[in-house]
């Protein structure tokens, strides 16, 4: 008996117990939701379907400082596709943001003026639904799509133009002069170029299976996708990827968690270059987000299956791997392969078609 109560035995017992505890406690299963519960859970946290009528669209995205009008939107569409907005007249917004390919270019790093790569190796995010975001760009430095549109036109590695050059060029085309005059009652200005493009971008919302499910159609998404959706809603993904755009609402740290094993792994796999890289992948481009503090505007997940490769520097090709990284580094709860499959199945339901609003 005395021997059993020896401090060493007690310590051993306690340590063993601590190690066994996770196995002894009953495993928390993901709650099984009925279709209605699942839908209510999403809707009650502001994960809403996109509007399908123009009136509802205006209620959601109109900008009091740049009211949407049919003429503004139509001119914005022309300029979105206008290569004259780039120095060598070969690049338009649509060159990097292809609307029929998920709203991006499917390249790891954007390529602009004279084949120049984005100097921070940044990946083109989707323009689809980006008007729903609270801030634009990977570090959230533009407040809305109107402000954002001025960036690429002037960036030397994108369209490489000066505001006055843009105005001069457009002034040479009488139709543009007339249209700007009709809309704004004044001559062409760089600000109004941004405004018309922004107004058009506000119409680029997509609607798909996920929206149909939220609207009440239980058969719109599969049972597997519903299990993935339950994981997404209950395990913490939606804490960051939320709102109508399923993202774009806040700026968050990435990676949120670090693991000793990564640093140790680096000794054996110098290729991982974890030491230089704060990321769970090689950090090409050296971009460190807002204030260089590893803070990124949470990406919009609508149409995510069409916008590979992923992350700000396009470092990861497979959606499965992205979900694994997110579960491990953002939630601190690495998903099993089955859970990853289910979440990927849910993410696919976020694909949608551009809504053809009857703009009037
Ligand atoms: C050379 C390719 C290229 C061109 C041309 C280009 N973009 Fe982009 N776009 C990018 C990249 C790369 C980013 C991310 C840059 C960053 O975060 O610093 C981006 C970001 C954006 C975003 C932010 C999306 C979000 O959710 O944060 C919008 C909106 C956008 N571009 C619209 C446009 C418009 C409008 C034009 C034309 C005036 C345009 N882009 C021209 C590559 C391009
Ligand atoms: C704490 C906030 C946070 C949580 C929680 C979170 N994410 Fe993310 N997610 C981010 C940020 C920030 C990025 C951008 C990182 C980057 O590009 O460097 C991102 C990127 C992504 C991307 C890639 C998007 C793209 O366009 O490249 C996907 C997909 C994604 N997250 C899915 C998920 C899933 C699924 C979960 C739950 C398992 C999750 N996220 C949990 C913040 C979060």
Render pLDDT for 112-151 as a digit per residue (tens, 0 to 9). 998 999 999 999 999 999 999 999 999 999 999 999 999 9
CA–centroid distance, 149 to ligand 1, in Å, is 8
Q: How far is CA 179 from CA 45, 162, 193, 196, in A?
A: 42, 22, 11, 11
* Ligand 1 atom, smallest distance to 157 CA: 1
* Ligand 1 atom, smallest distance to 150 CA: 38
* Ligand 2 atom, smallest distance to 307 CA: 26
Sign (positive/negative) of CA torsion 339, 340, 345, 348?
positive
User: Which is nearest to 130 in space by CA: 162, 96, 170?
Assistant: 96
Statement: residue 355 has pLDDT above 70: yes
Residue of 148, 155, 300 best suited for mutating to test ligand 1, as the one with most atoms within 8 Å of CB:
148
Statement: residue 171 has pLDDT above 90: yes
CA–centroid distance, 151 to ligand 1, in Å, is 8
Q: What is the pLDDT of residue 64?
A: 98
Contact between 295 and 289 under an 8 Å Cβ cutoff? The reply is yes
pLDDT band at 206 (very low <50, low <70, confident <90, very high): very high
Q: What is the pLDDT of residue 19?
A: 74
Least confident piece of the model among 18-22, 230-234, 274-278, 338-342: 274-278
Interval 67-124: pLDDT, tens: 999 999 999 999 999 999 999 999 999 999 999 999 999 999 999 998 999 999 999 9
Distance CA 11, CA 348 (A): 50
Q: Give the ligand with the smallest distance to the CA of 104.
A: 1
Distance CA 50, CA 190 (A): 30
CA–centroid distance, 189 to ligand 1, in Å, is 21
Q: Give the ligand with the smallest distance to the CA of 194.
A: 1
CA–centroid distance, 271 to ligand 1, in Å, is 31
CA–centroid distance, 293 to ligand 1, in Å, is 22
The overall average pLDDT reported for the chain is 93
């Amino acid at each position: 008996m005395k021997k059993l109560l020896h401090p060493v035995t007690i310590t051993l017992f306690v340590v063993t117990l601590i190690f066994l505890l996770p196995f002894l406690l009953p495993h928390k299963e993901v709650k099984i939701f009925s279709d209605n519960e699942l839908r209510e859970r999403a809707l009650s946290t502001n994960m809403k379907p996109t509007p399908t009528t123009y009136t509802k669209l205006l209620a959601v995205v109109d900008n009091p400082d740049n009211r949407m009008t049919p003429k503004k939107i139509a001119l914005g569409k022309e300029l979105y596709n206008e290569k004259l907005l780039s120095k060598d007249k070969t690049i338009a917004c649509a060159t990097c943001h292809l609307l029929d390919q998920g709203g991006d270019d499917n390249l790891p790093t954007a390529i602009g003026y004279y084949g120049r790569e984005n100097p921070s190796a940044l990946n083109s995010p989707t323009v689809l639904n980006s008007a729903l975001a609270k801030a634009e760009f990977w570090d959230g430095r533009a407040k809305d799509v109107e402000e954002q549109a001025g960036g690429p036109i002037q960036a030397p590695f994108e369209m490489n133009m000066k505001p006055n050059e843009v105005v001069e060029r457009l002034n040479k085309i009488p139709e543009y002069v007339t249209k700007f005059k009709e809309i704004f009652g004044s001559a062409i200005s760089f600000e109004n170029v941004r405004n018309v493009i922004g107004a058009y971008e506000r119409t680029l919302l997509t609607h798909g299976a996920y929206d149909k499910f939220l609207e009440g159609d239980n058969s719109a998404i599969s049972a597997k996708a519903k299990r993935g959706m339950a994981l997404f809603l209950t395990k913490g993904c939606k804490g960051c990827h939320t709102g109508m755009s399923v993202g774009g609402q806040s700026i968050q740290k990435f990676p949120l968690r670090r693991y000793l094993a990564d640093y140790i792994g680096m000794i054996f796999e110098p290729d991982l270059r974890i030491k230089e890289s704060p990321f769970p992948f090689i950090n090409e481009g050296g971009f460190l987000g807002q204030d260089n503090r590893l803070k990124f505007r949470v990406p919009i997940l609508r149409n995510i299956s069409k916008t590979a490769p992923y992350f700000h520097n396009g470092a990861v090709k497979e959606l499965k791997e992205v979900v694994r990284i997110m579960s491990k580094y953002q939630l601190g709860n690495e998903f099993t392969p089955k859970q990853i499959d289910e979440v990927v199945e849910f993410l696919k339901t976020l694909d949608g078609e551009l809504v053809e609003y009857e703009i009037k």
